Structure 1
Amino acid sequence: MPRQPKPYLRKQTNSWYCSIGGRQISLGKNREAAFEKFHALMADRDEIKCESTTLYALSQVYLDWCQAHRKPGTYNLHRHYLKLFIEYIGRTRRPSKLKTGNVTAWLDGMEMTSTAKNGALAVVQRMLNWAVEQEYLNRNPIKGMKRPKSKRRDIIYTDAQWEKIKQHADEPLAQLLDFLCLTGCRPLEARTLEARHLHGDLVIFPADESKGEFESRVIYLVPDAKSIVESLAMVNPEGALFRNSRGKPWTKNAINLRLERISKKVGFRVIAYGARHTFATNALAAGIDSVSLAHLMGHRDPTMVSKVYSHLSKNPQFLRQQAQNAVRSRNAS
């Protein structure tokens, strides 16, 4: 008959432990509290998993999985936030000891926007949910914790603003910005675009290279956009089409730094996603239906258009015209 686990005192540390499934679990220094915790563990075996590993160990296993199954950008983002998280809570903290208050204190102590904090918490929650899925844990100790409010990057540009931006951009950057404005594609899609993705007036990213890796991403090229990428394909038949003045493929950080400098010169914030948002807003104002726009933008769900690209609420002139159209429609009927 196998020996049943029971608490034992480790004299070196004057602390109580028990061994379950080959793992040593700390029960604390107080004998009465240690035995009480031991009996609670034995009554609820789900708690044993939370006590037999550390959040640091889970983060390392999760990052290994993430590196093998997710794109480099996703892996790097998760590694960044999990490193900050573990540095704050410590390498020995066990999942059972993690409280929402600990995570809130971690977020409050970081100098970042509420949107960035939303993303940081999302990474921690994803790791813990993954641990439950993989049966490393039986429950997520911070399940249901509310994330800080994420603010939309609802920046759009008028024609006059766009011209000011272009005046301060060198030719390689101006080409990239024009392509974003003409297609409404994601900046990442433009940065990773290669000649092999060109098919006439279409750009086609295979499913394993598209966002979400669910299905192929198709970008429709108007003549001006087609002309830009075809000329670049002649210069760069291999590798990224859009490159900086030194012939190096654009990186996210390089674009952001350039646009930050332009922002200071033009007096308003300039971001790459502003071109995508402007494309969507102009399309809606031109009467493009949300389903068609969703396909053009690469969204699987048309509701994303109304949720993310609802910038028309900030266009009084358009809304005045729509109000007049509504009255005309009613009178006509």
Structure 2
Amino acid sequence: MVTASVNWRASMASIKQRANGVWRARYRDQNGKEHTKHEKTKRAAQKWLDEQTAAIVTGQWADPGAGRITWDEWVSRWVGMQVWADGTATAAATAVESVPWRLKAIRDVKHGDVQTWVTKESERGLAASTIRTRLNYVQMAFRAAVDNQVISRNPAARVKTPRIRKREATMKILTAEQVNAALEAAGEFRPFVAVCVFAGLRLGEAAGLQVGDVDQHLNKILVRRQVQGTSIPTTKITPPKAGSEREVFVPLELVDILQVSQIGTPDSFLFRTPLGHLFNRNSAGEEWRRIRKAAGLGDDVTLHTLRHTFASNLIASGCDVVTVQRALGHSQPSITLNVYSHLWPSAEDKTRSATSTFMAEVFSPDAPNPGPHQ
């Protein structure tokens, strides 16, 4: 490897002094493109040449000219390379457009710039989880720039983020009384709320339900599509998130609440706004904010809280992780555990409960008396 490196440098790089006394260093990259730089001293020219050729040999080289493009120019190109769902594309755009170096050459963005941005986002009150999500997209964009030899190093690597509070401290779970209050206040939106809290559907999945998705004989709901978008013009129907197409087994009482037999043909949507539009994130959110206020629920209780409440009830009823995973439409059990592990009884809880049950049997008045020891 060392011999190959030396041979490459000998054949592809050189230093010559020009007539005016300036030293000209030159090399060709892997694609045969020539790069040059002029220095006042041979030592400076050699140092630059050593840095560039060593970067090529070690795979850390970036085209000096490519890094002149601005952050906005690069991320526009990078986003165009992706195959993302609309929701992911929107989240990525929000992240990469929130940085203060948008018009700066990407090669000039330093680690300190990224760390300062993260710190200021935290100081202005942005949630730690949101900051971490945005940083993740920014890091992805920088990594792609490194992979495409636009820059040589990722300035967003090893950036520190605010600590995220434990899920058990932040996740909201509604009581039976609170769910009842929400349903009472829901009015015409009651079936939508019911399918979120008693079937665990995401907002978009509930909005995408059709009459034919409700099996009235087997008491199950088929999740086959979702509605994406935040407004009427951006509303579109897409397949569920990867791994989320599923069957959810529900009680007869929920089927009765949906009243599918009174709506129409199998491809008729169960839920529409008073103006006949499909519910989107904004319109469904507006309905929920009305309900939340009337039911006396806190501002941190969202429609997604109903899904958490559904999962919590399954776990409290003794359902195992695979059962909960399938009901929620998570692609892997590990995702379910990452979100809800704090709701399952710990090994200590199980040991204590099992021993308590055994002790109750031992000391029960009806327990047989073994008699005196022989």
Residues 211 and 270 in structure 2, CA contact (< 8 A), matched pair in contact too: yes
What is aligned with 2:321? 290
Partner of 1:157: 174
1:70 corresponds in structure 2 to 84
C-alpha separation in 2, matches of 1:298 and 1:210: 9
Structure 1 equivalent of residue 195 of structure 2 = 179
Match of 2:246 among 212, 217, 221: 217
Change (3 A) 1:216 1:165: closer
* Matched residue SS, 2:186: coil
Per-residue deviation at 1:180?
0.7
Q: Please, which runs of 5 or more residues in structure 1 have no aligned partner?
A: 9-17
Report the structure, 1 or 2, having the larger helix content: 1
Indicate conservation of the 8 Å contact 1:195/1:239, yes or no: yes
Partner residue in 2 for 1:106: 117
The verdict on how the C-alpha distance between 1:251 and 1:329 changes in structure 2, with shifts beyond 3 A counting, is farther
C-alpha separation between the residues in 2 aligned to 1:76 and 1:311?
Answer: 30
Contact 2:321 2:333 in 1 (8 A): yes
Q: TM-score, normalised by structure 1?
A: 0.74
Aligned counterparts, 1:1-333, within 5 A = 38-39=48-49, 40-45=51-56, 46-49=60-63, 52-53=66-67, 54=69, 55-66=71-82, 69-85=83-99, 88-94=100-106, 96-110=107-121, 111=124, 112-132=126-146, 140-151=154-165, 152=167, 153-171=170-188, 173-195=189-211, 197-198=213-214, 201-205=220-224, 209-211=239-241, 213-214=242-243, 216-229=245-258, 231=260, 234-235=263-264, 238=267, 240-265=269-294, 266-269=296-299, 270-310=301-341, 312=343, 323-329=352-358
Change (3 A) 1:162 1:50: farther
Is the contact between residue 156 and residue 277 of structure 1 (CA under 8 Å) also seen in structure 2? Answer: yes
Q: How far 1:133 sits from its partner (Å)?
A: 5.5
User: Which amino acid is the alignment partner of residue 305 of structure 2?
Assistant: G
In 2, distance between residues paired with 1:25 and 1:37? 15
Q: Distance in 1 between matches of 2:359 and 2:65?
A: 67
In the alignment, structure 2 segments of 5+ residues that lack a partner are 1-10, 19-26, 227-237, 363-374
Letter in 2 for 1:188: G
What is the aligned-residue RMSD (CA, Å)?
4.3
Mean CA deviation greater in 105-114 or 284-293: 105-114
Contact 1:183 1:222 in 2 (8 A): no
Q: Describe the SS at the equivalent of 1:166.
A: helix
- CA displacement, residues 273-310 of structure 1 (integer Å, 9 cap, x when unaligned): 11111111111111222221121111233344343224
Amino acid at match of 1:181: V
Question: Quick one: structure 1 residues 175 and 206, their matched pair in 2 at CA, closer, same or farther if it must change by over 3 Å?
Answer: closer
Q: Secondary structure at the match of 1:179?
A: helix
* Secondary structure of the corresponding residue to residue 307 of structure 1: helix
* Larger Cα-atom Rg: 2
Q: Which residue of 2 aligns with 1:13?
A: none
1:161 CA drift (Å): 1.2
Amino acid at match of 1:176: F
Say whether the 8 Å CA contact 2:222–2:247 is kept in structure 1: yes
Q: How many equivalent residue pairs?
A: 314
Q: Residues of 2 paired with 1:5 and 1:259: CA distance?
A: 70
After superposition, the Cα gap between the structure-2 partners of 1:218 and 1:267, relative to the gap in structure 1 and judged at 3 Å, is closer
Q: CA–CA distance in 2 between the matches of 1:92 and 1:188?
A: 38
- SS in structure 2 of the partner of residue 243 of structure 1: coil
SS in 2 for 1:148: coil
Kindly state the Cα deviation for residue 70 of structure 1 after the two structures are TM-superposed: 1.2
